[in-house]
Structure 1
């Protein structure tokens, strides 16, 4: 039984070697990969994804192509342009194709003579870049101005339909914690889901001045506006306290005269006995304002 099994296996191996040594003609699909697309053109999704290779070779080579399926890289910078297509003539690049596919064109040939790649001319425009940067400051630190980008807009090109729908593009998300010094760095533009577009710049710089901040307060009189003529209105409290954050360097430049707090009598709903106080004037360099009291009680004297 062992002898029989040995000769049976040996015969099978010999048969396989004989069969694979024979010459066959086989049609094989070679996948295409495109590189160096012109920046002013958008390649259509309907571009050919393969060419047909008629391969005449022994079974071992054909089996190799069937298993590993090597692809062909098409350099579009070497293609000829027509009205609607880029034309890549295969016969003009036979040596490159032979080197990539490891074939001999004396025994094989590509069925297609040329590859037609449809395209559309791209439209260009400047698109605003929005910072997607979350800044958490260390205790006692803050910033007077938001994060600034440089450049704040980038040139984008792509199919007209897509370009016309794009208004802004965000940066990738960055989260910065316990910040206590000026920000200065580089962030990538988030181009995910925008593969049809070409960005002339893929990164922008971000900046922000970070300073030591302190909290201040000021007692401000409440002004009531739009009170009907002849209406005797009494309200309480007459003053409120405004709390604010300010750059330590600007602390001495803030005074109570820089603020104005008002209540609009016209905004009072029927049956209410209070008005809402609002800050309508303040210095431009302070932030995080709040009032110790927003509800101002009132009565009408007869």
Structure 2
């Protein structure tokens, strides 16, 4: 019996202890909320982050600049500043002005820009120092073409009509002029696809040709749009013309027409006709050792991928 009574006493004591702990924690939580809800005035260092720096400029000492802001804010706001180093932005383009060889930010010009970065419950009282100096170097800017690297194979009967280009097809690089002169292109990572039979788009990262930290590439990736289409082969019989024949010379030649095979998309097949092509032989290339001229395709529509003349020789006879 005494054992049962002892256990009951322990349960009661335990419950009292639990209730005490709950009330203690609740009181502590309320106290913390009250503290954090109160307003405090304090001074904290803010790292300066420059924004909208012109492409051709590089700021040499921007990482060393800080501003001491004295502010009135509640405890919640101050907790955020103490947990992580805060920063404020300065608009280089609008708030910084050139003075002799340096660029200068002044409190009178930039206070509004700083103040607008805080919510209405934060009161910025003072900012120190009232002036920041930035040393700037001028870099060269150059546009260079993007060279895409493709390793694409298409399913039988499928291809692309036009050369695949990147968007954008050129990018801006920034750095010392002596270094930029050595760069004439920026390559992409390799795009590998096999047995492709339908259109697709993808992004390719750019691979800088130099590891020099002084050179910046503004664009990090480009887009390629690969319009894969069903292709077919067509054949046409084209007239052959001989050009640059002297007025006092008559030339008889054979054959007068020549067959041409071309490869085009199924979509463009019905739009192609004889008038889109021109085959000529240049009489200035004739040689007494041979009795033939070489036909050349000098006109073809952009809607064909490849073409091939079936005959490589046009025989001729000269009569005065």
- Given the two structures, how large is their TM-score scaled by the length of structure 1? 0.59
Aligned to 1:245: 263
Contact kept, 8 Å, 2:264 with 2:304, in 1: the verdict is yes
Encode CA deviations 1:212-267: one digit per residue, 9 max, x unaligned: 01000000111111112232322122211010011101211111232211101012
Q: Residue 175 in 1 paired to residue 192 in 2?
A: yes
Aligned to 1:5: none
Query: Which of 162, 169, 192 is residue 145 of structure 1 equivalent to?
Result: 162
Aligned to 1:214: 232
Contact kept, 8 Å, 2:162 with 2:305, in 1: the verdict is no
Structure 1 segments unaligned to the other structure (5+ residues): 1-35, 44-74, 85-117
Pair 42,298 (structure 1): closer, same or farther in 2 beyond 3 Å: farther
Encode CA deviations 1:115-154: one digit per residue, 9 max, x unaligned: xxx9954323333212222332221111122112122222
Higher mean Cα deviation, 225-234 or 274-283?
225-234
Contact kept, 8 Å, 1:42 with 1:122, in 2: the verdict is no
Contact kept, 8 Å, 2:292 with 2:314, in 1: the verdict is yes
Q: Which has the larger radius of gyration?
A: 2
Q: Residue 265 in 1 paired to residue 251 in 2?
A: no
Contact kept, 8 Å, 1:42 with 1:159, in 2: the verdict is no
Aligned to 1:154: 171
Task: Give the secondary structure class of the aligned counterpart of 2:301.
Answer: coil
The CA RMSD measured in Å over matched residues stands at 3.0
Q: Residue 134 in 1 paired to residue 151 in 2?
A: yes
Aligned to 1:234: 252
Runs of 4+, deviation exceeding 4 Å: none
Higher mean Cα deviation, 282-291 or 127-136?
127-136
Task: Give the secondary structure class of the aligned counterpart of 2:268.
Answer: helix
CA positional deviation for 1:177: 2.5
Aligned to 1:124: 141
Aligned to 2:64: 78
Distance 2:142 2:59 in 1: 15
Pair 124,142 (structure 1): closer, same or farther in 2 beyond 3 Å: same
Show the 5 A alignment for 1:161-200: 161-195=178-212, 196-200=214-218
CA positional deviation for 1:273: 1.5
CA positional deviation for 1:42: 9.0
- Given the two structures, how large is their TM-score scaled by the length of structure 2? 0.56
Structure 2 segments unaligned to the other structure (5+ residues): 1-48, 67-100, 103-134
Contact kept, 8 Å, 1:42 with 1:158, in 2: the verdict is no
CA positional deviation for 1:198: 1.1
Contact kept, 8 Å, 1:220 with 1:240, in 2: the verdict is yes
CA positional deviation for 1:281: 1.8
Task: Give the secondary structure class of the aligned counterpart of 1:252.
Answer: helix
CA positional deviation for 1:194: 4.1
Distance 2:186 2:147 in 1: 6
Aligned to 2:33: none
Pair 42,239 (structure 1): closer, same or farther in 2 beyond 3 Å: farther
Higher mean Cα deviation, 188-197 or 241-250?
188-197
Aligned positions, number: 202
